[in-house]
């Protein structure tokens, strides 16, 4: 026999020895509770303290057990296995429930966060960050919230960055009474906080002077939306 084969044989012998010792050292406990029910367990710690003085201990195999004891032990083990399976099933159900609640909480936090939009305040003007989309192009504009403007107004320099092309030209009269040229375009979408509207008409103008915003957020977007402006905290709070 080679050294290698001897090693394998030795390992096999040791393994058999371990199995033999394990089987020979198996211990089962039998006790009867106050209701007269018989229980079989493999660990004395599973036996309530008041029943430990009056119990039977079985060592090794079950060959010496009576048929009734074997049957009772088998039923007890089967019951314990069912309880173990039920415990595992309950743990799995609880994990799924915890994960569902966690996801719900994440979505709720996202919703609450989306209902509050940080804005800039300049005097009585509210400067709102608005996501403007035209075709594949998208950019955030800073628009003055203006309930007196019938439609959204974008300044030409901002519109040019999105390659917005008006589908018709018109004229508008400004507060000074001056008539100015206006381009009329249809935007793919406008998005503020939790609200998004598509296919909105917007006026494109070339403003005079340097302004610190990109146009007006008019009523064709704001109509039907409920919100309040918190000037102290510089936010718009939207109603879902």
Looking up residue 153, the CATH number of its domain turns out to be 2.40.70.10
Is the same domain home to 100 and 135?
no
Q: Token pair for residue 173?
A: 């009269």
Q: Token pair for residue 63?
A: 């060959």
- Residue at token pair 């609450």: 112
Query: Final residue of a domain: which of 81, 109, 137?
Result: 109
- Residue 98: CB partners within 8 Å, gap ≥ 6? none
Dist. CA 234–CA 216, nearest whole Å? 18
The torsion region of residue 182 among left (phi > 0), alpha (psi -120 to 50) and beta comes to beta
Q: Token pair for residue 165?
A: 């092309």
Q: Which DSSP symbol is given to 60?
A: S
Of 237, 239, 229, 226, the closest CA to residue 124 belongs to 229
Q: Are 129 and 117 in contact (CB under 8 A)?
A: yes
Higher pLDDT, 64 or 80: 80
pLDDT surpasses 70 at 64: no
pLDDT tens digits, 176-201: 677 788 999 999 999 998 999 999 99
Number of domains forming the structure of the chain: 2
Is the same domain home to 81 and 130?
no
Is the same domain home to 66 and 178?
no
Dist. CA 57–CA 40, nearest whole Å? 10
Is the same domain home to 130 and 151?
yes
> What are the strands, taking DSSP E only, across 55-118?
55-59, 116-118
Sheet arrangement for strand 27-32? 38-41, 27-32, 55-59
Is the same domain home to 98 and 181?
no
Domain housing 47:
3-109
- pLDDT at residue number 59: 65
Is the same domain home to 142 and 173?
yes
Is the same domain home to 122 and 93?
no
- pLDDT at residue number 12: 38
Higher pLDDT, 195 or 11: 195
Confidence of residue 2 (pLDDT cuts 50, 70, 90): very low
Is the same domain home to 34 and 86?
yes
Higher pLDDT, 6 or 51: 51
Is the same domain home to 234 and 130?
yes
Query: Final residue of a domain: which of 109, 130, 163?
Result: 109
Q: Give Cα 2 distance to the centre of its chain.
A: 62
- pLDDT at residue number 26: 61
Query: Final residue of a domain: which of 60, 83, 109?
Result: 109
Dist. CA 220–CA 68, nearest whole Å? 85
Is the same domain home to 156 and 103?
no
> If you average pLDDT over residues 144-148, what whole number do you get?
93
Is the same domain home to 200 and 123?
yes
Q: Which DSSP symbol is given to 51?
A: G
Burial 125-143 (b: 16+ CB within 10 A, else e): ebbbebebbbeeeeeebbb
pLDDT tens digits, 22-39: 334 467 777 788 888 887
pLDDT surpasses 80 at 154: yes
Is the same domain home to 40 and 95?
yes
């Amino acid at each position: 026999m080679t050294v290698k084969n001897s090693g394998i044989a030795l390992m096999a012998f040791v393994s058999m020895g371990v199995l033999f010792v394990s089987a020979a050292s198996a211990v089962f406990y039998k006790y009867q509770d106050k209701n007269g029910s018989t229980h079989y367990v493999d660990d004395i710690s599973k036996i309530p303290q008041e029943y430990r003085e009056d119990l039977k201990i079985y060592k090794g195999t079950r060959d010496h057990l009576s048929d009734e004891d074997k049957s009772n032990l088998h039923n007890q083990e089967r019951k314990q296995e069912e309880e173990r399976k039920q415990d595992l099933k309950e743990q799995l159900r609880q994990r799924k429930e915890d994960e569902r609640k966690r996801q719900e909480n994440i979505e709720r936090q996202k919703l609450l966060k989306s209902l509050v939009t940080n804005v800039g305040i300049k005097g009585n003007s509210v400067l709102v960050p608005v996501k403007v989309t035209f075709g594949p192009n998208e950019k955030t504009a800073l628009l003055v919230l203006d309930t007196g403007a019938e439609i959204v107004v974008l300044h030409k320099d901002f519109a040019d960055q999105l390659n917005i092309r008006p589908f018709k030209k018109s004229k508008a009269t400004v507060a000074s009474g001056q008539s100015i040229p206006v381009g009329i375009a249809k935007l793919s979408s406008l998005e503020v906080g939790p609200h998004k509207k598509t296919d909105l008409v917007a006026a494109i103008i070339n403003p005079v002077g340097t302004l610190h915003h990109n146009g007006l957020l008019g009523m064709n977007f704001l109509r039907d939306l409920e919100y309040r402006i918190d000037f102290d905290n510089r936010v718009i709070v939207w109603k879902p």
